[in-house]
Each structure stands twice: as C-alpha cells, then as structure tokens.
Structure 1
Amino acid sequence: MASGLAALLDDVAAIAKIAAASVDDVAGAAGKAGSKAVGVVVDDAAVTPGYAMGFTPDRELPIVWKIALGSLRNKFVFLLPGALALSAFAPWLVTPLLMVGGSYLTFEASEKILEVFLPHEAGDTDDALALSSTELEAQKVAGAIRTDLILSAEIMFIALADVAARPLAIQAAALAVVGLALTIGVYGVVGLLVKMDDIGLHMAGGRTRLGRLLGRGLVRAMPAALSGLASIGTAAMLWVGGGILVHGLEHYGLSPIPSWVDGLSRWAGQVPGVGAFTGWLAFAAGSAVVGLAVGAVIVGGLHLVQKLRGGQAH
C-alpha cells in the first residue's frame, strides 16, 4: 500500500513538473511574441480614442467597453482559431492576408487625410446629421471594431510567427495570453485617456492650489492632446499598413521598394548614439510613404467607381 501511494505521489510530482514546464513555455513564448507586437499595440492605443471623442462624458467609457469587448471577440472568436488553422494547414496564406489588412489600414488613413483637405459632400453631411446619438455611437463602435480587427490580426500573426515552431497547444495558449494581456493594456490606457479631462475637472475643484492648477492645465490640454493623438493614429495606420506591405513585397522577392525603404533605414541608422531610433524612424517614414501611395490609389479608385455608379443612375 505504501509503495503504491509513493508511486502515485511520484506520478503526481512528475505531472506537476510537466505542467510547470508547460506554464513556463507558455509564459516565455507569450512574452517573446508579445514584445514583437508592441509597435502595433502603440498604434492601436493611438487610433482608438478618436472613436470615443464627440460624445457626452457618460458615454465615453461605455463606448470604450463596447470596443474592448469587440476586440476580445475579434481575437478569440475569429483570429485565434483562424491563426491556428492557418499555422496547421495553410501557412502560405498568412502573408497575403496580412497584406490585405495592411492595404485596408492605408485606405482608412488616406481617406482621413483626404477629408481634411477636401470639403465633405452635402449628402454625406446630411446623412451624418440625420443620425441619432445612438446610431452615431453604433456606427463609431462598428468602425473601431473593424479597425481593431486589422490591428489585432497583425498582433496575432506577429505573435504566431514567433511561436510557429512550438506545439499547437503552446501556440494556442501563448496567443491567448498575448491577446488578453494586450487588449486589457490597450483599452485600459484608452479608457484613462478619454477620461483625463474629467479627472482634471475633479482636480480643479480640489482643496490645494497646486491640484487646482494641475487640474485646469489638464482640462485645457486634453482637447489638443486627443486631437494630436488622433493624428498620430492616422500616421500609425500609414506606417503599420505600409510596413506590412513592404515586408510582404520582400517576402515575395519584389525587391525595389523594400530595398529602397531598407536602404533609407540603414543610412539613417548610422547616426552615432541614436542610430537605432533614427533607423526605425526612417523605416517608419518610408513605410508611411508606401502606405500613403497605396491608400491614395485605393481611395481614388473607390471614389471613381462611386462617381461612375452615380452617373449611370442618372
């Protein structure tokens, strides 16, 4: 009996060691994979606050919460199973799908830039004014979740590429950890950003003079900060989308554009002391130029199709 109990305890200890090793594998894989997706996470955090702007304060956090839930649904219902299926059965599809997503990001950013320089058509303005606050909120949330789908896909596929050699169970667990941790991090930051003006108002009514000064300064600064963040988000969509396209072209051996962007990055990276930063900045700028060119072509093509359809209708 004693020997049987000892054998059972040995088995339990062995299982515990295997489980601990698996946890370590998942944690290590998730940490390594997540660190490579940090650039896209920054872009996600910069893009999202713009979707919660323009609403009453009581709706800001509910909107962020809806987008966060949509992001979790994107990752766990669509992207995680899809990524694992692609890894197992069609790894060659990952790059084309990423390039389609990158093209969508460049289109979104180019359309935002076009809206700054060209007046809106009257019909578009009337349609926007006709929407109720509930309909406008639903439209904004849907747009944010669509954009999140592309950014989340990029995050998940970057993570997948780093754990592709691991067993399928480790891949699944690592992607789940990365998806959950980054969603909590991104939308926690976004929620804080959209409520900073309310925090400032609370501080402005405080008891200490310094607190009141800081609160008033925060309230005055937040509109410009959020507007600047929206601009950063637009630029981020250009350089992330363009970067996806550059890497995709390089993957398929279409070297002129990737060689140009890489050469620019290497040249800028020779600056003493800050070469890593200037090299990254040059790569981001070159990718953004590629993204703007592709996005402008897509926007121009879609507007041409709309005009042709409008002419045929008349």
Structure 2
Amino acid sequence: MAGLIALLDDVAGIAKVAAASVDDVTGMAVKAGSKAAGAVIDDAAVTPKYLTGFDANRELPIIWRIAKGSIFNKVVILLPIALLLSAFAPWLIAPLLMLGGSYLCFEGAEKVYHAISPPDDPHDKYEGGQGDPAQLEEKKVAGAIKTDFILSAEIMTIALNEVTALMAGSGLIGLAKLGTEAGVLFVVALAITVVVYGSVALIVKADDVGVALARNNSGFVASLGRGIVKFMPGFMKALTIIGTAAMIWVGGNIIVHGLHELGWHAPYEWIKHQAEAAAAMVPQAPGLVSWAVTAFIDGIIGLIWGLILIPLSEYIIVPLANATLVPLLSGVKSMFRRSAN
C-alpha cells in the first residue's frame, strides 16, 4: 500500500510538472505571438485581395486551401529551420530578424509609395473572366501561399527571438529546451494561422451576412444588415492602413533593436532619450507617451529604410531571388509531398 501511495504521489508530481510545462508553453506562445502583431495584421489585411473576382461559394474553400498552405509553411518548413537555428546558429537570429524587418519596411513603404503614385498596371489586379476559373484559382492560391511564406517566416523568426529571450533564465538545456521551443513555436504557428484566416473568413463573408440579414428580416435586424454592408468597405480600407502602419512600425523597431544587439547603439539610445524626454513632459501618462514617441520614430526609420529598399529590390534582390531561392523552395516542397505520398 505504501508503495502504491508513493507511486501515485510520483504520478501526481509528474502531472503537476507537465501541467506547469503546458502553462509555460502557452504563456510564452502568447508573448511570442504578440510580438509578431505587425506581420499578423498585414497577413489578415493582404489575404482578402486574393479572393477578388471569385464566386461567393468559392471564397471559404479558397481560404481553407490557403490556411492549409500556411500551416505547411510554418510547421513543416519554418519550424524545423527555426529549431536548427536555435540549436546550432543562434547568432544568426538577429540578422535574420533584421532581414525580415527589412521586408516589412519594404512592403509597407511600397504600399505608401503606390498610394501616393499609383502604378499604371498594378501587378495584383485581378483579370476577371480571362482563362479557366480553376487555373485562376490555382494561380491565386499559389500566390497567396507564397506571400504567406514570407510573412510566416517573419512571424516565426520574431517568435523564436522572443522565446529565446524568455528561456534565457529558465535553466533548461538540451532536449528539454529544444522541446519547449518546439512546443511554443508549434502553438504560435497554429494560433496565428487560426486567427489570421478565421478573421479573413469573417471579413470576406460579412457582406453576405449583412445582405442576408437585410433581405430576410425587418426592423432592427434589417437595419443591422444594411449597416454591416455599408461598414465593411470603410473597415477594409482602415484595416489596410492599420496593417501598413503596423508593418512599417514593427519593421523599423526590429531594425533599431537589431542594430543595438549587433553593437551599433546610437539609434536605440537616441530614440530612448527622446521617448524619456517626451514622457517627462506628460507625467499623467508617461508610459503611453514613451511608447507613442518610440513607435513614431521607429516608423519614420522603417519608412525611410523601406523607400531605400524599393529600387534595390526591383533591380537586384528580386531577380536574384527568382534565380536561386524560388527553385530551391519549390524543390523542398516537392520533396515533402513525395515523402508524404
């Protein structure tokens, strides 16, 4: 009996440790995921454009296909790469994070530039009615998954950087550390995918819900439906603006902190000094003022860096990537599909 009680006590102890580990993984996943807010908002803001021109009954199936591709990007390709970086080349995390931050700055600055000076022939314009609908859907889904891969890489790198910082004082080493990192990144990957594509599904179907409410009801419910229909265009525009601002701000913040970690402290220290000086002038809300000033300056830096990257991307980076990186990623995906079959 004493042995049985001791065994049950050990089992209870193991259960408590496991529960605590789950809590730790969940808590770190929430903190790590929140750091990727800029990329997450942009992912949700960008995806609806790939549904333009399709029948309403194809919208949810297309979103589901893109979501499955996003999970593949995050879990099958990016998560193992992130774990390898953490185990064998942690010094690469900061430069890769800055690379991703530069992409956010570029994307945000490009949207600002195109808003000021619209291109004559937008590359993402949907040419409705041309070609086989199934082929057009395949093309749109492939384009969305490719864009998702870039944003997912940024999300996972930001999450990995945050997890590494959170685990610095945990005392975990070896397989325990690797397992916790894998668990956190897996939770982040699933949660962010659900949030992004669940939000996209709600956004693209909101008009249909509004029309149905207005058509099949009367009184307040019908007014609510008409209000939803009128609200959505402005909401989509606001979401795009917020997503663009978030990209530029987060990208600039990543660049400044990356330079700080690599030894160039001047930008970080100057911004910190400006934020502290502004906060001292508004003692009623010093934290809010400090954050706002820091975000504003980070955004200006991100915008300037993004505008610099636009010509570099067009004439150097994109041609080089198309010649090397795209075939490599296609080969990796083909290898995984063959092994799965």
TM-score above 0.5? yes
Q: CA deviation at 1:261?
A: 2.2
Match of 1:66 in 2: 65
Question: Shift of the alpha carbon at 1:246?
Answer: 0.7
1:39-79 Cα deviation digits (max 9, x unpaired): 42364134423322324333333333233223322322233
1:100-125: CA deviation from partner (whole Å, max 9, x where unpaired):
11111111122222222234255x66
Matching residue of 2:19: 23
Are 1:133 and 2:136 matched, yes or no? yes
CA 1:192–1:97: 2 relative to 1, 3 Å: same
Structure 1, unpaired ranges of 5+: 309-314
Q: Which of 27, 36, 47 is 1:40 aligned to? A: 36
For the 8 Å contact 2:250–2:299, the answer to whether it is kept is yes
Q: Is the 8 A contact 2:108 2:248 kept in 1?
A: yes
How high is the TM-score relative to the length of structure 1?
A: 0.83
Amino acid at match of 1:252: L
**Structure 1 residue 213: Cα displacement:** 0.9
2:332 maps to none
Matches within 5 A, 1:140-179: 140-164=144-168, 165=170, 166=172, 167-168=176-177, 169-179=179-189
* Cα root mean square deviation, aligned: 2.9
| Equivalenced residues, count | 303
Larger deviation: 158-167 or 102-111? 158-167
- Separation (CA, whole Å) in 2 of partners of 1:48 and 1:185: 9
**Cα distance in structure 2, aligned partners of 1:206 and 1:267:** 58
Other structure's SS at 1:48 match:
helix
Counterpart of 1:107 in structure 2 is 106
Matches within 5 A, 1:229-240: 229-240=239-250
Q: Contact between 2:38 and 2:250, CA under 8 Å: does it hold in 1?
A: no
Q: Secondary structure at the match of 1:269?
A: helix
The CA deviation at 1:99 is 0.7
2:291 maps to what in 1?
280
Quote the residue 2:48 is aligned against: 52
Alignment correspondent of 1:116: 115
Would the aligned equivalents of 1:264 and 1:286 in 2 still touch at CA under 8 Å? no
How far apart, CA to CA, are the structure 2 residues paired with 1:175 and 1:202? 40
- Per the normalisation by structure 2, the TM-score is 0.77
Letter in 1 for 2:190: L
Q: Which runs of 5+ in 2 are unaligned?
A: 320-341
Higher deviation after alignment, 170-179 or 85-94: 170-179
Identify the match of residue 199 of structure 2 among 171, 186, 189.
Answer: 189
SS at match of 2:288: helix
| 1:85 corresponding residue in structure 2 | 84
**Paired AA for residue 74 in structure 1:** N
Q: Separation in 2 of the partners of 1:17 and 1:126?
A: 56
Q: Say yes or no: does 1:289 pair with 2:300.
A: yes
Distance 1:208 1:42, change over 3 A: farther
* In structure 1, distance between residues paired with 2:182 and 2:288: 33
Q: Which amino acid aligns with 2:301?
A: V
1:311 corresponds to: none
Aligned partners of 2:34, 2:191: CA distance in 1, in Å?
12
Q: 1:312 corresponds to which residue?
A: none
Partner of 2:233: 223
Measure the CA separation in 1 of the matches of 2:181 and 2:94. 18
- Conserved? CA contact 1:103–1:245, under 8 Å: yes
Distance 1:133 1:144, change over 3 A: same
- Taking the aligned partners of 1:177 and 1:87, their CA distance within structure 2 comes to 17
Question: How far apart are residue 157 of structure 1 and its match?
Answer: 2.8
Which 10-residue stretch deviates more, 91-100 or 148-157?
A: 148-157
Q: Separation in 1 of the partners of 2:215 and 2:98?
A: 50
* Identity within the alignment, %: 34
Letter in 1 for 2:75: F
User: Structure 1 residue 286: deviation in Å?
Assistant: 1.3
